[in-house]
Structure 1
């Protein structure tokens, strides 16, 4: 049985004020096995983040269903951890306390909070910064805190919504390497949203390419390349050319426009 199944998912947003509907996703179908690193790839507005939010349980499909271990996802759950584009840290808490905050909410004692936070601080390479505050850290370091916070929840599935998009190229490259290392050493299933073809090819074991709005599964590409990925290799650039062709292929210019009038 697949770890995650997305079956016939459609998402329509209604604008009651204007009396219109916008179809964001149309007939999405795919499955993911446990411990895969899956990249959702497509241009702006294709519904990547919308789909991720439904897998997280923040939103629900208009039709279709999403199953995790055979059970329908209908709400948020501790079995899914989320890492956002901005790490959304609490500025008044230190690195250690940001990471362990949910343990505090659950009533864990201070020793337990500190010990568990330290384990994940070490894992993401922030040893020595336990008592620093978010404003004292770089963007990449703050994202490490966000990743550590998600890992501490011990979720079966980690959802990442363009977490490195705001980073400079050098920091982004470092963070990509760090994320792959964490994934290899501490097996988790990851779904990673990106609009960067190179990032998807560097990170993923599988790439799901979405079409322009309304988002549809254009192609699913399984990657069998050695790590670390050689961005100059023939196979890397063959995949890159193929994916760019899929993303930029001509579509009906009217597709996805909010032109359906609600009666």
Structure 2
């Protein structure tokens, strides 16, 4: 059984101000296997984030179904961790208390929840900064807190919406390496939205290329490149040319349609 199943997912947004409807996703069919690292790639406005929100349970599809572990997604759940483009931390809480907040809501004693949170603080390389507030941390550090918070929930699926987009190039590379190491250790299923072909190839073992709006699956490409991936290798650049060709074909098709 696939970890995530999308069956004929359609999403239409109403625009009452303009008296029209906007077809955003059109008949999305996709299976994501357990322990896959899938990157969603496509032009701005193609519905990548909307699709992620449907899997997360933040949005309902207009028709069709999203299933996680065979269960229909109707609302957010602890089986799915979400990491946003901005880490959405609570500024009045320290890093460790942000990570442990879900345990506090469950009534776990402070000593136990901080012990468990420290495991993930250490995992994302923030030991020594656990008592700092978000304003005292860099953007990359705050994203580490967001990832640790998602991991502590021990979800089967982690959904990530361009979490490194606002980071500088060096920090982004470091975070990509850390994320791959975490994925290899925990063997969870990750769906990662990105605009960057290079980022998708560095991270994913499967890349799903979407069309222009309305978003459809243009092609799903599996890559079995060795890790850590050498972005200067012939194999990496062959894969990059293949994905870029798909994107260019889609861009050309969109221009002709327009």
Is the TM value for this pair above 0.5? yes
Q: How many residues align?
A: 256
Aligned to 2:120: 120
| Post-superposition offset of 1:70 | 1.3
Q: Quick check: which one's helix share is greater? A: 2
Aligned to 1:245: 245
Q: Deviations over 1:143-195 (max 9, x none)?
A: 00000000011111000000000000000000000000001111111000001
| Post-superposition offset of 1:4 | 1.0
CA RMSD of aligned residues (A): 1.2
Task: Tell me, yes or no, if structure 1 residue 142 matches structure 2 residue 147.
Answer: no
Q: Write out aligned runs for 1:104-115 (5 A).
A: 104-115=104-115
C-alpha contact (below 8 Å) 2:212/2:254 kept by paired residues: no
**What TM-score results when the alignment is normalised by the length of structure 1?**
0.95
Aligned to 1:261: none
| Post-superposition offset of 1:141 | 0.4
Q: Unpaired segments of 5 or more residues in structure 1?
A: 258-263
| Post-superposition offset of 1:254 | 8.6
In 1, Cα distance between equivalents of 2:212 and 2:229: 28
| Post-superposition offset of 1:102 | 1.2
Q: Write out aligned runs for 1:71-220 (5 A).
A: 71-220=71-220
| Post-superposition offset of 1:252 | 4.0
Q: Deviations over 1:193-229 (max 9, x none)?
A: 0010000000001000001111110110101100011
Aligned to 1:28: 28
C-alpha contact (below 8 Å) 1:212/1:247 kept by paired residues: no
Q: Unpaired segments of 5 or more residues in structure 2?
A: none
Query: Which contiguous aligned blocks of 4+ residues in structure 1 show a shift greater than 2 angstroms?
Result: 251-255
